[in-house]
Structure 1
Amino acid sequence: MASESPRAKKSEEETFYVNCRAAYLTVFKSSLENIKSKEQLCLVLQQAGRNPSQKTVNKYWTPQTTALNFDDFCVILKKEKPATKPDLLQAFIKLDKNNEGTILHTELHKILTTRGEKMTADEVNAITKLADVNSGGKLDYKKFCNIYMATNEQCCKTALEKLEVDTRVLRQQFGSQVEISTEGATSPISKPSPRTARKTDHKATPRRGENRTSSRPSSAQGCKASISSTMSMGASSNKNSKLIEPNTVKEWQCAQSKGCFYLEEDGTIISHRYRMHLLQKSTVCITIKPLSLSQLEGKPSPWLSVDTALYVLKENESQENLQLVGLTDQQNKEMYGWKGELGSGFYWLLPFTTGCRLKKVKKQITREVKLVYRGEDGELGLTKEFRTALSNIFEVIDLDGNGLLSLDEYNFFELRTSGEKCDEEAWAICKENFDTKKNELTRQGFMDLNLMEANDREGDPSDLWVTLLSLGFNKALEMTEACPFVIDIYAEKCKPRIKPVHLEANSGQLNRAICKSVVNQGEAKVMDGCESIIVHTYRSEARITSVIENKSENKMIIHVNNEQSKNCINNRGLNIFAVEVAPKSMMVCQHVMPLNEQEEWIYNCTHSLLL
């Protein structure tokens, strides 16, 4: 059967985002408005044809969440797939032991409030009170399924009809970067990235087209103001004499931590976040680079070409009040570093990658690697290839590099793969059954834990594959959708301390840091014909980043055209796109890097204000 064409995949993704916007704009006046309560989140999900339980809502609206933006909403919709009628019927049929087409309210209440994704009593009561599908204390689930599907379809249809009133908005392709207020307004508190549960299937989301978009924004020809930037960049030498070599500071005291960039199904990148403590004022050298791991013979390490960076922010009074003090933009081969003097106190280290070289991979895997086998005695064992992958995983999640897994380190692994933490009681059981040392899990213990999981499933590797896929591996056991990294901190006068704190997507703090660094170090150009729009462009040896600043009182829509660039890739995966910039705010427009580092690359971008 012929594979799906790139154009068809692109059309599917465009349709998805149109449906997202349609649902969002039935509740909010603009996609720039934030969801500010659980009730709003539930309502906008319902407009998108979902019927979320309270547990589902709580999964995305945690006690730390103060707001969700349109991008967050799109991520949630990709994870929470709409129920199909066959799925619903099949679920009810399993409960209908007598095959009568009905289920007793008492039985329905008992099952829905105690099993699976538990519903509240009020949610179940809302179902049993529907007059058209209930009688005699029973639910006619076939009628209920028909009404449920019809209601969902009507919600989606109504949302699309409302959006189609404004065809100009319908045809635009909007950006997906967070807007940063230029007036110092506080952005929403960052939240942990919701993870897909271990027992669910991972389905790759088609990546956006790598060349020009299939249909440029219709109003691109109606531009009343524009600005162009052209930069010619030589082939990368991967050298910068400004970066101090770590071996020249070998007498300094050092701290190290590892981490990883993980690529989500929707293209979002999440990573570890760190808190650093300096006991006294000191000259400090901080570096970050991809982590080198042992690979199977003949298999490349694609993540070694992924760009890495680290933003250093000073904590003032609170963890929400952070001040940018440094960026690792000095390069030495694959290492990026920063050197400067820091006062005593706490700092946050926010790893960052542009996403230009860490994207969804379309490569077709022709052979699925075996994970387990049965010996002559019938006992299960782990294959050599799987053991190598597990050893690499152990290296990545052993954040302090001591060859053992603490409970905190293991919980980062659990949050990534299953979305849940291991509590003290479960950890105690784990230590009783698997090899430990100094109260921490050994490499062998980690291997045996995975073998036990395979035995629990009687050799079925499905759960093992879910774990591997969530950690960036494909079915050939190549790590193609993750980039492990290592951070080294050298301090001249004191022992630095570093602790991983979160595993999350780009936060408001990080986006503010990116904008500030570009504005402080980049070139600013006022848009011809519109003085309220300023395009800031920052170039380093490794990448170019542009930030759009809107000083006006009105929302602006900016058309971005990269078609004249040569040997370039950008993080959006589109050569032509449009972005909304909120009033009195700035936002990251795009990151651009060379497609081939050994050749010259030319950045040529035109930003135009749409009518």
Structure 2
Amino acid sequence: MASSPGGHASVSSQKSTLWECSRPKKLQVTEEELFYMNCRAAYLTVFKSSLESIMSRDQLCLVLQKAGRNPSQKTIDKYWTPQTAKLNFDDFCAILKKEKPTSKSELLKAFKKIDVNNDGYILHTDLYKILTKRGEKMTPEEMNAIINLADINVDGKLDYIKFCKLYVATNEQCLKTALEKLEIDSKVRLQQLGSHPEASPESGVSPRIPRSVGQETMLNRGDGRNSSVQLPARKHKSSVSFSISMGANSCRNAKLLEPNSVKEWQCAQSKGCFFLEENGEIVSHQYKIHLAQRSTVYLTIRPLKLSQEEGLLPHWLPVDTALYLLKESEGPANLQLVCFTELRNREMYGWSGELGSGLYYLIPFTTGCWLKKEKKHITEEAKLVCRGEKGELFLTKKFRSALSDIFDIIDLDGNGLISLDEYNFFELRTSGEKCDEDAWSICKENFDTKKNELTKQGFMDLNLMEANDREGDPSDLWVTLQSMGYNKALEMVEACPFVIDIYTEKCRPRIKAVHLGSGGLPFEKALCQSVIDKGDAKAMDSQENVFLHTYKSDFRITSVLENKSENKVVIHVNNELSKNCVNNRSLSIFAVELAPKSTTVCQHVMPMNERQEWVYNCVYSLVS
């Protein structure tokens, strides 16, 4: 499970007093420190080390409760699927970034929906019907546990105002207790790694409550049983430090230069887009390239410039981009890295060199340092449709502008029209299904087309028809917009459209989009190989079975871990001494578990502000 780059509000909103209750006042606590300490504190109430893994649904539920959450069954199902074998501490931190604690006001709002008399009480009979018959149903035993709490029940009624106070206080106490236990061992706190004190975790579990407003409630499950996993404490076996100081505007040192005669070469172009998934994974269009003969080639990728409000820069402009070129070796299952873009000129990244004839796979890539889940809270939802004086629906100007940009993105060949193949990439992204030939024929009959392809006006009318079919309800339109990376203010913040150009000196290149998804294992191997081939290597143990490979360019640093041994290893990573840096994991400290005979990308690091010096200072510790 990939780390997701969301904000830390889910923990910091529980008030910094939970931390400050035991931390000396003279120390300054950053938001990231507070987040990390809350994560570790909760984790170490259930496990003896942050290197142990969550091995069951019950453990996941329990450790989330210790972090002040009350996860519903639906929430647990989201993170513990039938394919999940275990989750590590890094995964746990990513979950906490996404799952915010339920506030007292949210609870009261939920209960008031079912308080028919508006007197602060709910009859047990009504509560029983709602919580055992609707939404995520409670069992009679779970229901009895609530109504048997003497302080919040009287005369067959639940005092839900007192219940909400009890719920919030219990959640905060769980987290406060966890922090106090962690503070007992200052060495553990400073080291950010090690065994938890032998004291057993508290047995108390937060009361279960309705999470969503209204009567169809999602209810929390799980019990207070302690984890049965008792692994021994682990110690650092060896450490490797890496320190690289990069000057301000260092990306200008090795600038991308186009060949002198490139304007006389033949060119092929295609557009595409990076999309950020809910789990933090980044997917994109992927391509096949065909060269008829050996030729000098110039490859570039850059963000696509779309219509923007005057004076505003696109949200995706700072997103780093790259291209990796692969070729089949002894069959399609075995792809070998040919080259990747290493140079840069402003927002454009590129590579030039000689390639032989044949078929290549082209995979766009971004580190995830800048394309991250949005932290911004939208206070007012943009309007998509309005009604005229006669009651007819029309699309708002702002929505039409967004649709125009979406059209330009999915028009991969840039001819101003949408073919069936191009439209199907859009459909797969927004609905998960393709449009067949019959449906496309109907589309062409009802909407403006040219040369059997959909025009921009036809695309606008298609969306207007959808709005009319829903009688002005914009819900389905928002599904489309959010799938394309837009937030509720109609800003594209979780996608990055791009343009790829291929110039060849001796033949006409052909490029075709063939897939929309992640690069998968072949790309992961190619990415690791690029770092191993081009980077510096350091052995992390005396047997030289575990290696750290570090690749440095003027604009990013990537580390890859390689385990040549027959045993699993765990690497603890500490970036706390780095300055003016951002990484793709959004955590300064984390652990990476490495399977036997495997390699994995540990992290990508980039400057937070390129106009200032940035220092990459990282300690990688092999844990026994």
1:13: how far off? 8.4
Query: Which of 397, 405, 426 in structure 1 is aligned with 2:410?
Result: 397
1: distance between equivalents of 2:447 and 2:140? 48
**2:147 aligned residue:** none
1:526: how far off? 1.3
2: distance between equivalents of 1:267 and 1:388? 27
Q: Does 1:6 align with 2:36?
A: no
1:498: how far off? 0.6
- 1:226 touches 1:529 (CA, 8 Å); kept in 2? no
Closer, same or farther: CA 367–141 of 1 in aligned 2, 3 Å: closer
Query: Which of 317, 322, 325 in structure 2 is aligned with 1:309?
Result: 322
Spell out structure 1 runs of 4+ moving beyond 6 A. Answer: 11-19, 21-24, 46-49, 67-71, 73-76, 147-150, 171-174, 218-221
1: distance between equivalents of 2:383 and 2:260? 42
- Is the deviation greater in 221-230 or in 517-526? 221-230
Closer, same or farther: CA 22–609 of 1 in aligned 2, 3 Å: closer
Query: Which of 25, 29, 32 in structure 1 is aligned with 2:55?
Result: 25
Q: Does 1:353 align with 2:366?
A: yes
- 1:323 maps to amino acid: Q
Equivalent residue runs for 1:555-570 within 5 Å: 555-570=568-583
Determine helix, strand or coil for the equivalent of 1:305: coil
2: distance between equivalents of 1:315 and 1:298? 46
Query: Which of 316, 338, 342 in structure 1 is aligned with 2:351?
Result: 338
2: distance between equivalents of 1:148 and 1:586? 50
- 1:534 touches 1:549 (CA, 8 Å); kept in 2? yes
Query: Which of 436, 442, 445 in structure 1 is aligned with 2:455?
Result: 442
Equivalent residue runs for 1:89-168 within 5 Å: none
The two structures, once aligned, show a CA RMSD in angstroms of: 4.4
1:553: how far off? 1.2
2: distance between equivalents of 1:559 and 1:519? 20
Query: Which of 567, 571, 584 in structure 1 is aligned with 2:597?
Result: 584
- 1:319 maps to amino acid: P
Equivalent residue runs for 1:213-362 within 5 Å: 222-239=235-252, 243-245=256-258, 248-362=261-375
Equivalent residue runs for 1:43-62 within 5 Å: 50=77
1: distance between equivalents of 2:519 and 2:43? 22
**2:560 aligned residue:** 547
1: distance between equivalents of 2:75 and 2:464? 41
Equivalent residue runs for 1:173-252 within 5 Å: 222-239=235-252, 243-245=256-258, 248-252=261-265
**2:513 aligned residue:** 500
Determine helix, strand or coil for the equivalent of 2:514: strand
1:536: how far off? 0.5
- 1:173 touches 1:577 (CA, 8 Å); kept in 2? no
- 1:276 maps to amino acid: I
Closer, same or farther: CA 521–47 of 1 in aligned 2, 3 Å: same
* 1:314-372 CA-partner distances (Å, limit 9, x unpaired): 12343222111100111111111111111111100011000000001111123322111
- 2:312 maps to amino acid: K
- 1:299 touches 1:478 (CA, 8 Å); kept in 2? no
- 1:423 maps to amino acid: D
Q: Does 1:608 align with 2:608?
A: no
1:427: how far off? 1.0
1: distance between equivalents of 2:370 and 2:471? 38
1: distance between equivalents of 2:43 and 2:404? 38
1:234: how far off? 1.1
1:297: how far off? 3.1
Rg (Cα) greater in structure: 2
2: distance between equivalents of 1:149 and 1:301? 54
- 2:53 touches 2:87 (CA, 8 Å); kept in 1? no
2: distance between equivalents of 1:558 and 1:276? 38
1:10: how far off? 5.5
Identity over aligned residues, as a percent? 63
**2:101 aligned residue:** none
- 2:429 touches 2:483 (CA, 8 Å); kept in 1? yes
1:383: how far off? 1.0
Closer, same or farther: CA 604–69 of 1 in aligned 2, 3 Å: same
Closer, same or farther: CA 51–485 of 1 in aligned 2, 3 Å: closer
**1:510 aligned residue:** 523
Equivalent residue runs for 1:428-467 within 5 Å: 428-467=441-480
- 2:503 maps to amino acid: Y
2: distance between equivalents of 1:23 and 1:548? 20
1:579: how far off? 0.4
- 1:25 maps to amino acid: M
For normalisation by structure 1, the TM-score amounts to 0.68
- 1:594 touches 1:601 (CA, 8 Å); kept in 2? yes
* 1:163-212 CA-partner distances (Å, limit 9, x unpaired): xxxx9xxx9999xxxxxxxxxxxxxxxxxxxxxxxxxxxxxxxxxxxxxx
1: distance between equivalents of 2:260 and 2:438? 44
Kindly tell me the number of residue pairs found equivalent between the two proteins.
Answer: 470
